[in-house]
Amino acid sequence: MNITLNTIWFILIAVLFIGFFFLEGFDYGVGILLPFLGKSDDERRVIINTIGPFWDGNEVWVITAGGAMFAAFPEWYATLFSGFYLALVLMLFALILRGVSFEFRSKVEDPRWRRFWDWAFFGGSAVPALLWGVAVANLLKGVPINADFQFTGNFFSLLSLYTVVGGLVTLSVFTLHGAIFLSLKADPQIAERAHRAANLVSWPTVGIVALLVVLSYFYTDLFTRLGVNPGLTALAAGLALIAAGVLVRIRRHGWAFIATGLAIVMTVVTVFRGLYPRVMVSSLSPDWSLTITNASASPYTLRAMTIVAAIFIPIVLIYQGWTYYVFRGRVMMDHHLEY
């Protein structure tokens, strides 16, 4: 691999998406499980408080990834956001609803009011979890991009058996990731329900992922491009997910959380290795695919961004790590905060 600034920024964007899917993954999972694991208002408040200090910081990763994409690969940003416009607007509304639900549910004590916002939190978590999988599957499968690097399809061009299964994969993996997180962070009574939920979804998740792998052979060139060595990352992702199911069953939740996290990390690595040096695949012609070269900003822009990133990214990582350290304990029923 020829390490240029284009390659460095491609790798950096991949790292940002790794951080986002790892952290926001359990975040979404907690929201999806909220109406089902919380049997009372206090219990649902505890579940929300397990991610209360983290959720908005977790979303910064994807905002930063979008900003890096805009600055480093503006053609990629323009084609992606124009082609996926309706899907992204739907995701944005879901995320707005999710953020608002954090603030609004406790403003009125009426149980109906709070149930409404709990289900809004569920929808605001489930919809993005599903759409992210659809989006990533489309990047691998390819979308109609013409010679001018313009998206020529519509919203329904993004929907196929492969992309829908991709959405179900992220939905199920994030749900499993969130259930294991709650097993570690919530009051023991809630944690036990989360353990049962993780047990329930772990093996169906493995099955859906296996289906996506089989479909990838027919719908993408991933197997052709990966070869043996990069393909090890895909194998590692699958084995980590299977290990997570086993570890949940024997109640090794800490290791299970590491396993689902590793599965997410290795999956994102596999996706980006399968794309490189492309950033968006054209289903109309391979010559019309966007790459790290034809979608790139100027060398001066990349150099300036590299200096800024080298200064500020370590600061952000240190601060977020400190936040997780400070709020590392379980959230118990007898000292949950109402906010």
Contacts of 292 (CB under 8 A, 6+ apart): 6, 7, 9, 10, 73, 276, 277, 278, 279
**Encoding tokens for residue 30?**
């907690």
Residue 339 has pLDDT above 50, yes or no: no
**DSSP secondary structure, 28-67, as one string:** HHHHHHHHHH--SHHHHHHHHHHHTTTHHHHHHHHHHHHH
What is the rounded CA–CA span in Å between residue 166 and residue 188?
33
Q: Can you tell me the distance from the alpha carbon of 320 to that of 325, in angstroms, rounded to the nearest whole number?
A: 9
Written as one letter, the residue type at 327 is F
pLDDT at position 337 is 52
In the predicted model, what is the mean pLDDT of residues 276-283?
92
Residue 309 pLDDT exceeds 70: yes
Q: What percent of the chain has a predicted confidence (pLDDT) above 70?
A: 96
Tens digits of residue pLDDT in 28-44: 999 999 999 998 988 99
Q: Indicate the angle between helix axes 5-37 and 188-219, nearest 10 degrees.
A: 130
pLDDT tens, 206-225? 999 999 999 998 998 887 76
For helices 55-72 and 85-104, the axis angle rounded to 10 degrees is 150
pLDDT of residue 181: 96
Domain boundaries, the chain: 5-335
Would you place residue 157 in the very low, low, confident or very high pLDDT band (cuts 50, 70, 90)? confident
Q: What is the DSSP string of 92-159?
A: HHHHHHHHHHHHHTTT---HHHHHHHHHHHHHHHHHHHHHHHHHHHHHHH-B-B-TTS-B---GGGG-
Tell me the pLDDT tens digit for each residue of 225-253. 665 455 688 889 999 999 999 999 999 99
Terminal-to-terminal C-alpha distance of the chain? 50
Residue 57: the pLDDT is 85
Averaged pLDDT for residues 88-101: 92
CA atoms within 13 A on the CB side of 247: 19
Structural contact between residues 210 and 229, judged by C-beta atoms closer than 8 angstroms: no
Gap between the Cα atoms of 336 and 306, Å rounded: 42
What value does the mean pLDDT of the chain take? 90
Buried b (16+ CB within 10 A) or exposed e, 10-25: bbbbbbbbbbbbbbbb
Taking the mean position of all CA atoms in its chain, how far away is CA 80?
17
287 CB burial (10 A radius; 0-12, 13-18, 19+): exposed
Q: Which one is predicted more confidently, 175 or 234?
A: 175
pLDDT digits (tens, 9 = 90+) for 248-277: 999 999 999 999 999 999 999 999 998 999
Average pLDDT over residues 307-320: 89
Tokens of 69: 């994409």
pTM over 0.85: yes
